[in-house]
Structure 1
Amino acid sequence: MGVSSEFPNSHSLFQKWTRLDLTQKTLANQVEKTGNQLQTQEFQVRCEPDTSSQFEIPNQEQEPPDLLYVGVDGVMTPLNQKQGYKEAKVGVIFWSKDHKKLGKKRGVIRQREYVATLKSRGEFRERVSQLYNQVAGKKNTKTVFLGDGAHWIWAMASEQFPGAVEILDFFHLSEYVWAVAKAAYPNKEDYQKDWVKTQQQLLKKSEWTTVIENCHHFPKKKKDLSKAITNLERYLTNNQSRIDYRSYLKAGLMIGSGVVESSNRRVVTQRLKQAGMHWSFFGAEGVMALRAAYLSNSTRWSNFWSSLSYNSP
């Protein structure tokens, strides 16, 4: 209740199913309190990810390392009492073997683990570390880190996961390409789609400099087009060590099919960013913690409720 749907609807269902006289405010307070309790219980121990296996040279008897993906992104979340918006940091961790293709352009990740918080980047890093260790265990693991262009994300990747393959999420990069197409061909969707498709094909061949050249071929560039081109060029240049998509695809790696963006949507946007919603820091933190555990595929959710039942008088 209150985890999957907004509090008014949850309150209505609760009364209908239980016939108990409980105010909506009481329900909301209890949900938010429980979420913060779950968060505290899950992340009591500070730790760092064990990346030692990334530096070992495997001998002939060792099995090849399993690929473990870490995706990180941020999404602005509306707070109340004139606090404006604050960035929620969201992480998703999953094994390569759990990514199944459903066609040429579609795929599904069968098992994944989420973490989310409004707290500091340092707190977030510790929580990603702990979740990573829980998922990786003692397996021989190679890490692939997916993210957008935010500096703090790549600083986190290089410091916490040295030796990981860093990949700029292709979904995010494509948004910059689309911005150029829309500015170059306003109200001409077919032209936009064709141009974007061509540039995406070039990017997947690691020919990103050709994409920049193509941008500068547009005649009489208007202000919005010039800005979009500058943004794309800067984005590519700043992340050139993370956009060797030809090599990534050849190695069978995911380059980001929107899995990072969908994590934002599933954990935060669908529940905390509905029309008219504004949250206290405590409330948003609690609901995000509950959703991260509830939407994950491990036993985190059931373990938490079992612990509450076990500790109750």
Structure 2
Amino acid sequence: MEKIISNLYKIIKGTNSLIELEEDVNMYMHEVFATLLGDVFSQIDQVVKKQKQQEGWTVIRSDEKTVQFTFGAVTFRHTSLRDKQGNCRHPFDEWLGIRKHQRHSSLVEVKVAEMASETDYRETARVLKEWTAVDISHTTVGSIVKRVGNAQAKADQEMVVELEDADYLPEGKKLAFLYAEADGVFVRGTQKKKSLEVRHAVVHEGWDKNGKRVALREPKVIMTTQPTADFWKEVQAFTAHHYSLEDTQVVSNSDGGAGYTAEKFQEAFSQSKYPVLNQLDPYHVSQALNRAFGGGKSEWKEEVKKALKAQNLEDFTLWVDTFESTLEDQKNVDKLQAFKKYIMHNWERIFDWRERVENPPKDARSLGAMESNQRHVSFRMKKRGMHWSEAGSEGMVKVIQGILNGTLRDVYLKHQKRSERKQRQVKKTVKLAQLLRQPTRPSIGAHQGSISLYIAHSSARGQLLKSLR
């Protein structure tokens, strides 16, 4: 402590502003904690080594290892040992929970991935260096995103495999209604003129109203760049692990594009005894209407809207054909015909789901939350000419999914949590390391001293004192 205080005095004397003082003290604080933790790790490594030697392991060598923590780079010595089967292992790393070749702590990796989901890799590296002791390159940020996202992807795949191998469906939450929407968003790939589709589903239990604001109740997302079949398997596995849908009316919404048809929803939610209601997304209907009739108001446009709302096919055909007869530009004719084909192909899906059920919930609203939820992907992955590799895009969307669902940290750290038995071993090892580190008090021999009597040396007691000296 005296040395730390002395160094703080030196820092204060060597700086000429409060800003410089705070920066230097912050740097020194990181160095002190990193050095102290490195010393403790090295001490525990010696204890773990002795324990393994007693079990018959043999020492190979002792090396230095550096791991980047949020408070600085910690350097410590760890011993390589050969176990009874002849395998080379680092028992202290296993004891601590460090992977082979791991250079950053798990907390650093998770925080880097979480920050990278909001901003680009270079900015993530810059902010980390500015505000923490973590100094990494933008390429390392990308590698960490892939690693953390891969953990979420593996957890999703495990759910799929578990559902396929199970003899019965898991017991989940029971609901009267469940709402699901799905769509895709394209991002630029690294190959020329090739895009990657991020397949995205949102599942929720209804709506909560807070004043004038309305939010989805218990929203969960499933995202992936994997093929359509794998995407729907993840949707099915996710909902089956969270809900018991046997008596649930599932209401779905999509634009009817390839991969997001009514049949896909019916297959994904086949455990429900009710047919899945699948309506055409009102946003895409409105978008198609504007492309065909223009953004302004017109008699034909308003009449087509009325025909769609009333589900009157005859009136719809009449007004579309009438409008087509007024067009002279072939491009506009092609747009109108494409609109008519789109609507006719999905005519049975153009309805308000609340009119198709007997007792809709009191808080029931129209579906159409997909577009706003896709902003989590589009805002991060479609700006400033970004291009994505297959591994990079999958890692990023899985990180975003894990953050939105609140599962990312648990999924990434689940293999590093100690059991009660392992934690008892940790306590014993740490206690032994503390005992071995206790400093011994140096021997200074017998203490000497004297007692003042304040009497004449010629007296009897004075003569006795002389004889004892």
TM-score for the superposition, normalised by structure 1 = 0.80
Aligned to 1:19: 133
Conserved? CA contact 1:90–1:263, under 8 Å: no
Aligned length: 287
Correspondence 1:16-95 to 2 at 5 A: 16-46=130-160, 47=163, 66-82=176-192, 84-95=194-205
Give how far 1:278 is off: 0.5
Query: Deviation per CA, 1:121-178, whole angstroms, max 9, x where unpaired?
Result: 1110111011212332467321112111224322312333351111111111111111
After superposition, where does 1:110-125 map in structure 2 within 5 Å? 110-125=217-232
User: What's the counterpart of residue 61 of structure 1?
Assistant: none
1:70 counterpart letter in structure 2: A
Q: Please say if 1:168 is aligned against 2:275.
A: no
Shift in CA distance, 173/12, structure 1 to aligned 2, threshold 3 Å: same
Structure 1 residue runs without a partner (length 5+): 54-63, 183-188
Q: Does the 8 A contact of 2:122 with 2:137 survive in 1? A: no
Contact 2:224 2:394 in 1 (8 A): yes
1:177-226 CA-partner distances (Å, limit 9, x unpaired): 111121xxxxxx5426x865654444233235423322222243122221
1:229 is matched with 336
SS of the equivalent of 2:135 reads coil
- Gap change, CA 1:12 and 1:196, over 3 Å in 2: farther
Instruction: Specify the alignment match of 2:392 in structure 1.
Output: 283
Aligned residues of 2:280 and 2:351 also touching (Cα < 8 A): no
Pairing 1:1-313 to 2, within 5 Å after superposition = 1-46=115-160, 47=163, 66-82=176-192, 84-96=194-206, 98=207, 100=209, 107-137=214-244, 140-154=247-261, 155-162=263-270, 163-182=275-294, 189-191=295-297, 196=301, 199-218=304-323, 219-221=325-327, 222-245=329-352, 247-248=355-356, 252=360, 254-257=365-368, 259-266=369-376, 268-296=377-405, 299-307=406-414, 309-310=416-417
Identity of aligned residues (%): 20
Distance 1:3 1:204 in 2: 40
Q: Hey, what's the Cα distance between the residues in 2 that align with 1:45 and 1:211?
A: 46
Give CA-to-partner distance per residue, 1:78-112, whole Å, 9 cap, x none: 1114361022211110112x354976xx8432431
CA shift, 1:256, in A, is 2.9
CA shift for structure 1 position 65: 5.2
Contact 2:280–2:346 (8 Å) recurs in 1? yes
Cα distance in 2, alignment partners of residues 101 and 211 from structure 1: 39
Change (3 A) 1:211 1:75: same
SS at match of 1:44: helix
Q: 1:280 to 1:245 in 2, by over 3 A?
A: same
Structure 1 residues 202 and 111: alpha-carbon distance in aligned structure 2, compared to 1, 3 A threshold: farther
Q: Distance in 2 between matches of 1:206 and 1:250?
A: 19
Q: Call closer, same or farther: CA 1:306–1:171 in 2, change over 3 Å.
A: same
CA RMSD, aligned part only? 3.1
CA distance in 2, matches of 1:65, 1:81: 45
Question: Structure 2 vs 1, CA of residues 213 and 256 (structure 1 numbering), >3 Å: closer, same or farther?
Answer: farther
Give, in whole Å, the separation in 2 of the partners of 1:20 and 1:161: 45
Find the structure with the greater CA-based Rg: 2
Local SS of the residue matching 1:153: coil
Counterpart contact for 1:143–1:161, Cα < 8 Å: yes
